[in-house]
Structure 1
């Protein structure tokens, strides 16, 4: 059989695999999108209360695209505008994206430079968490990434528009706990791939430190301090996990090398042919 005859079949398999990756991404992001919507409503309502127009609120969600930073900016939105305070707050809150980018960068080796550029533009907490969970069992492909990464900004922008347009009719979203949905979502996503001692130690250290920093210093310093401590703990504990895994592999290798392939099988009595 020639290579040409294999061409259509290979293309069909490739297209089918791409469809599977696309469907996997949509399935993974569906519950996340349901939670992003009320947070978008919350921001839209806050922006409307601060006097932003529909266009201004929409452009902020499309161009800035950082939920936590946008909501924090609304808390600082005064007259006269504290530009320096808003810029510093936005930088500190979004500094966690540096760590998320460092975490995902080695797993995007199958991306082209252009795909990698746009992939990290759409980097969010949810997309990062879903991707980290994905790479536990599958490689991270551009199809999977963009199938979930593009859905989140669309839902976020739609929630912003609805919240800004009908914010007065919706009432206070915080009264029904809508402001906690984002936190609850991240807790559930991180729990899905925190399966090693290193990850668990880093998460616990980060949570405890961030909580204490929030009580002592307030926002947004708790984000930077918590992330730094979590990264440090992960760096310190990771070598120990690697040593333990290497020792386990060596034990298995030694056990296999000691097996004698010529030795007869120890079959139960009556089971020999």
Structure 2
């Protein structure tokens, strides 16, 4: 216990810069949520149960009187598939830890405190409690931002006048730019875009999000990038 508190405090302090931007980002979500009629209890439940900014933007965008629960769940699942890779990258940090410890820590892993922890890991000073402390601080900052936006959103009757309705598009554009890895991504992105456009044209609701995500993922798994990597391995002479 003596080591947990200092590590959590160190993790929290290391995440101050990213938590500030998360609070601002969260306030935009809160404003959009206010336009959809979400209560502060709805917002806090979503923050606690989901705690994933991009996925929460999707949920708010899809929020309606007749809740599309199945579509919403699938869309959030596709968007959060990246946490499989994030979790895999943290495996050395969790080595020797029990299942409950891993589950409890991973729930508060976000892109921001993951990146800060991976940077700390390069110096060999990262711990799971450092990761957790950053996650707790981010959660508090994110929740504060969403509540500020939600409670103040009632005064903004036309969010489009302030370009807040563009936040959803801007968020995913920024995510896409950050995830771009080079020419091997060209084909999956084209396939994902084409599938999303076709689904938007022929399917009701938000199925285009799921269709685009699944098509892009399958294309990436089966595309030439994987073949090139195999060929490079086969070309290495044996010793």
> TM-score, with normalisation over the residues of structure 1?
0.63
In the alignment, is the contact (CA less than 8 A) between 1:39 and 1:181 conserved in 2? no
In the alignment, is the contact (CA less than 8 A) between 1:95 and 1:224 conserved in 2? no
Shift of 1:72: 0.9
Alignment correspondent of 2:200? none
Shift of 1:209: 4.9
Asked if 1:53 corresponds to 2:35, the answer is no
Q: Distance in 1 between matches of 2:220 and 2:112?
A: 18
- Per the alignment, in what secondary structure is the counterpart of residue 217 of structure 1? helix
Alignment correspondent of 1:155? 141
Shift of 1:206: 6.9
- Per the alignment, in what secondary structure is the counterpart of residue 105 of structure 1? coil
Structure showing greater relative contact order (alpha-carbon pairs closer than 8 Å, 6 or more residues apart): 2
What does residue range 155-234 of structure 1 map to in structure 2 within 5 Å?
155-169=141-155, 172=159, 175=163, 180=170, 184=174, 203-204=181-182, 208-209=186-187, 211-218=189-196, 219-224=209-214
Shift of 1:224: 5.0
Shift of 1:237: 4.8
The gaps in structure 2 that reach 5 residues or longer are: 197-208
In 2 relative to 1, CA 231–40 (structure 1 residues): closer, same or farther, beyond 3 Å? farther
> TM-score, with normalisation over the residues of structure 2?
0.71
Shift of 1:118: 0.9
Alignment correspondent of 2:55? 69
Alignment correspondent of 2:122? 136
In 2 relative to 1, CA 100–224 (structure 1 residues): closer, same or farther, beyond 3 Å? farther
Q: Distance in 1 between matches of 2:227 and 2:90?
A: 16
Shift of 1:61: 1.2
In 2 relative to 1, CA 75–116 (structure 1 residues): closer, same or farther, beyond 3 Å? same
Instruction: Tell me how many residue pairs correspond in the alignment.
Output: 218
In the alignment, is the contact (CA less than 8 A) between 1:57 and 1:161 conserved in 2? yes
Deviation string for 1:7-59 (max 9, x for gaps)?
Answer: xxxxxxx85x973x445423431121122112211221222111111111221
Q: Distance in 2 between matches of 1:121 and 1:114?
A: 11
Q: Distance in 1 between matches of 2:11 and 2:85?
A: 23
Alignment correspondent of 1:79? 65
The gaps in structure 1 that reach 5 residues or longer are: 1-13, 191-201, 245-273
In the alignment, is the contact (CA less than 8 A) between 1:111 and 1:141 conserved in 2? no
Deviation string for 1:167-192 (max 9, x for gaps)?
Answer: 1335638727755468658967x8xx
2:106 to 93, 102, 120: 120
Deviation string for 1:199-244 (max 9, x for gaps)?
Answer: xxx8335754564245312334554555667788589759979xx9
The root-mean-square deviation of aligned C-alpha atoms, in Å, is 3.8
In the alignment, is the contact (CA less than 8 A) between 1:96 and 1:224 conserved in 2? no
